[in-house]
Amino acid sequence: MTTPDNTFHATINPLIKPFLVVQIGFAMVVTIIGIPLAIVWFLGLGRWWAQHYYDKLECQLSDKTLRYRKGILVQVEKTIPLENIQDVTFIEGPILRHFHLSTLKFETAGSSAGQASDMHLTGIVDAHDFRNRILAARDALKQQQRGTAPGASDQQLAALRGIESKLDAIIALMQK
């Protein structure tokens, strides 16, 4: 959905709720000590928590930033300037595919491989399309910051070809 101020609000897939219940419940079962908690989790606490978590999820793409908000007790809001985004990786494993979900992982300028503040978006509807929107918005912003219009690169290429032909003519004259 796009608003008049050019902000696109991404839709979050409601299937993220059962995915979160299974993912967290599985982590509890694996710890062995968490098995009693996992029973309570699967009997209803997990569904309640997942619903409230889902209600707080929000993702917005504006002309200059990507903003993601999540959390129940501790709310986290991350904002990434589009000019800092180097790449957007699309991740879809067998469990995510089972729930018709995918994850978008963002590589930003200046981030190291083990940095904990990397942004991962899981559950965006039409994640491929959203990824393309982000990259297109980033490219448009970079073009705008350079002070060139999108068609200016064609003009620059034509000028460079003209310069190349004149240099070839000068070289031909010098070789005579």
Convert the pLDDT of each residue in 27-71 to its tens digit. Answer: 999 998 889 999 999 999 999 999 999 999 999 999 999 999 999
pTM of structure: 0.70
Q: In the chain, how many domains are there?
A: 1
* Per-residue pLDDT reduced to its tens digit, 117-164: 578 899 999 999 999 999 999 998 888 887 755 555 678 888 889 999
Residue 2 located in a structural domain: no
Look at residue 85 and tell me if it is in a domain: yes
Examine residue 73 and state whether it is found in any structural domain, yes or no: yes
Whether residue 138 lies inside any domain: the answer is yes
Q: Contact 88/102 with Cβ under 8 angstroms?
A: no
Return the CATH number at 97: 2.30.29.30
The rounded distance, in Å, linking the Cα atoms of 96 and 30 is: 19
Domain of 68, in residue numbers: 8-151
How many other CB atoms are there within 10 angstroms of residue 108's CB atom? 16
Residue 174 resides in a domain: no
